[in-house]
A and B are shown apart, each in its own frame.
Chain A
Amino acid sequence: MRAKKEEWLKKNADICIRCATCMAVCPVSRVTPLFPGPKNTGPGAERFRHPEEPSVDHWVDLCIGCHLCNGVCPAGVPISELNLLAKTKYLNEKGRPFRDWLLTHSYLYGWIGALFSPITNYLLRKPVVKKLLEIILKIDQRSPLPNYQSPLFREWFKSHSPKVGKKIAYFYGCFTNTNEIDVGKATVEVLEANGFEVILPPQDCCGFPMLGHGDFDGARKKGEKNLSSLLQVIRSGMEILYTSTSCGFMIKHEYGHLLELPGAEELANHTFELFEFLRKLKESGNLNTRFKGLSIKAAYFAPCHLRTLGIGLPAFEILKLIPELELKRLEADCCGMGGTFGFKKEKYEIAQEIGNDLKRAIDRVNPEIVLTECEGCRLKIRHLTGLKVLHPVQVLRDVLVSRP
């Protein structure tokens, strides 16, 4: 199956007409000439690659994986996927540093970090620890490290008194569970305020970080595990919602499209981004829109993987219903975090340069808070601006007149 998919992808390199539209949107080649841009690294270089010969694509690891090039290609060349396959071969031959293993396996230790969160957070803020992380692991000491929280979201959920209603399942993702518990809480509260009973099906890391590092086998294992659990709740009549646009993109599209996992299509047909779902409620007149006024100026940033989902900007649409909220859309393409890209010593400065363009867009708006669906973007934007950065659902929860 996998060979077939790779063959299909490579054939598609030849439909590139070299028009260079992708070169207009690549956030990496815009800030550094070290990355030759999607046209050249994807279909351009593909024509010279031979499976038997060693990879010479030393720059392919600089592809940040945003998928923006795919979104603008008039010929339908899967540029990101070509880059990913080339990156996989390059990293398989060159070897991955222990750091990359660590960054893609946070699901193994995140709960420990959360359990001892006061200690973890204290250590992760210490300059000497950051210095050591840089020396030993090549995690840039200037990079924005996450904060751990306890109790875990799952534990909070167990302790909260559930509401009875139409059942709906929630795929919260690792980061919500160990680092941004309030995103999960807010989601549960908003859904309950709309008459739903939230269920948390057993779930594991979606596998997206592994896939991004070319670890197809690792990602496939995660996918299979999640599929069997999620299909069970779907077959019992529930839909699945997610709040992380990257996890969502992985389970809804990459499980089927890139990993070709059996059952992925059924999963995709029943999985929705939270605000996409709320927009459906609104259109059928079933959304609880009893909102208090919120008189602040907020800037909204659409993450790369939200745009890849092809659902428009549902959170932007829903947030606009909040009275007195002054909401501006940020005109920028990428925050530079790229999941784990922005942590890496050899990439930090590129990430920061990409982020600076977003920072300038934020400065032009001069907001009190920034709203965005992606945890990586939130981390990076806090780092770039020092502003309060939230998931849109946290604001939506705060303005509900009658909270459950």
Chain B
Amino acid sequence: MQHDLIIIGMGLSGLMAAKTALDLGKRVLVIGKGMGGLILFSNTIDVLGKVPETLPLKDGLSHWIKEHPEHPYSKTGVEGIEEALSSFVSLFPPPYTFHSLDERNRKLPTAVGTLRPTYLFPSTLSGGVFLKEGNTLIVGFKGFKDFYAAYMAKQFKCRYLTVSLQEEGLPELTATYLTRQMEKEEVRERVGLEIKNSLRGETLIGFPALLGLNDPVRIKAHLEAITGGEIFEIPTLPPSILGMRIFNRFKAYLLERGANFLQGHKVSRVEVKGSICEGIEVFHPPISRFYSAPHFILATGRFIGGGLEAERERIVESLFHLPVFSEAPREEWFGKNFFDSHPIHRSGISVDHSFRPLDHNGKAVFENVRVVGTILSGHHYIDEGSREGIEISTGYWGVKRLFE
């Protein structure tokens, strides 16, 4: 296989890098040991959750970049972020589109009954913005353990309904099973009617994000026609159907344009000569395969993705052994409580303007390797609410600047 670019990692940043390279007419190989993190997160597009709803996000971002010169956003700039986001948004033609409300952060309900600020979200989620005490009926399914309607309803001081799709005594239901059920018209008729009969003046209906994989807008409209209320989806625990919709869309787009897509085996070795990466080896028992290309993108994420590994005393980058920048010494990695901010989540790879990894003297370690996504240093996406924004903008600009 001959490629202009090999991308290691199949999360949002790797997929975004692949899309950008294909749009530039490049031949791309994407390698992922799994299928990236899109299935794990709630999958609205957070850009900078710290910006209050009262302020246009753009203004908040400019301010943030001025205050945080080491942040990945300072590499892309506000206009750069906007350009990258519109490239992402262009993947989703109507009716299932991603958009903001008034170009500001808005708070959407989560499956644990909290509100979370986010920037872009699919149209099937918009109604959640208007959730207020008493105006929403939260719907769950009996036997579906990834979404408890009663718990959510209590937090939001709303009523709830638990729909039973199964006869008594049958085992638990999974997200993909329920999603497939919701794709069936007769199931929607039944569920819709049960919801309609349970409404007591509520105008909104909060539904777990299971409204089908292929045509959620039509499914939402059908349920609305039956119930007379406005339906909105609420992200569930993994596996995230919202994430699958994004992943499937990327995959279709990339394969249509001739990308090679290898899932299931991790890169076992990199072949390095001086400051050049000559190729990578993938171990697929009992053999190894070698792939070479003039350029490489490392988009392996932080700890969950396996891009970074915490050893007893230090943090290492697992593939190229790149220098890792960590703001905190070992004893300060973790805060006292689980929900505290943990400084370990600020560790990452420092890069130059063209996303090449740097050593502690500020010198590029590799000429033909670019690093993008959450593995970058200078941010704490959990605290900031910036995960997808960082992935999309650095994935996009990592490739743009490479071929400019």
Q: B-contacting residues of A (Cβ < 8 Å)?
A: 17, 19-21, 23-26, 29-34, 36-37, 70-76, 252-253, 256-257, 264-265, 268-269, 279, 283, 307-308, 310-313, 316-317, 320, 329, 331, 357
Contact = CB atoms under 8 A, between A and B. Distances in A.
B244 A268 contact: no
Contacts of A25: 35
Nearest to A317: B258
B264 interface: yes
Contacts of B237: 20
B174 A253 contact: no
Contacts of B37: 74
B69 interface: no
B176 A71 contact: no
Closest 4 CB pairs of A and B: A256-B286, A71-B264, A74-B34, A24-B239
B198 interface: no
B172 A33 contact: yes
B264 A310 contact: yes
Contacts of A265: 286-287
Interface residues of B, number: 48
A76 B266 contact: yes
11 contacts: A19-B304, A21-B34, A30-B179, A74-B306, A310-B265, A310-B282, A310-B284, A312-B260, A313-B260, A329-B256, A331-B248
Given A72-B34, A331-B248, A279 B1 contact: yes
Contacts of B248: 331
B334 interface: no
Decide if the interface of chain B is mainly helix, strand, loop or mixed.
loop
B291 to A, nearest CB: 11
A29 B176 CA distance: 7
Contacts of B244: 24
Interface of B: 1-2, 29, 33-35, 37, 39-40, 143, 166, 170-177, 179-180, 237-240, 243-244, 248, 252, 255-256, 258, 260-266, 282, 284-287, 289, 304-306
A150 to B, nearest CB: 37
A33 B174 contact: yes
A348 to B, nearest CB: 18
Contact of B284 (A30, A72, A253, A264): A253
A307 B143 CA distance: 33
A312 B262 contact: yes
Nearest to A269: B287
Nearest to B266: A76
Nearest to B239: A24
Contacts of B166: 33
Nearest to B237: A20
A36 B172 contact: yes
Contact of B252 (A17, A268, A320, A331): A331
B75 to A, nearest CB: 27
A168 to B, nearest CB: 19
Contacts of B2: 283
Contacts of B285: 253, 256-257
A21 B261 contact: no
A265 to B, nearest CB: 4
Contacts of B170: 33
A21 B264 contact: no
Contacts of A316: 255
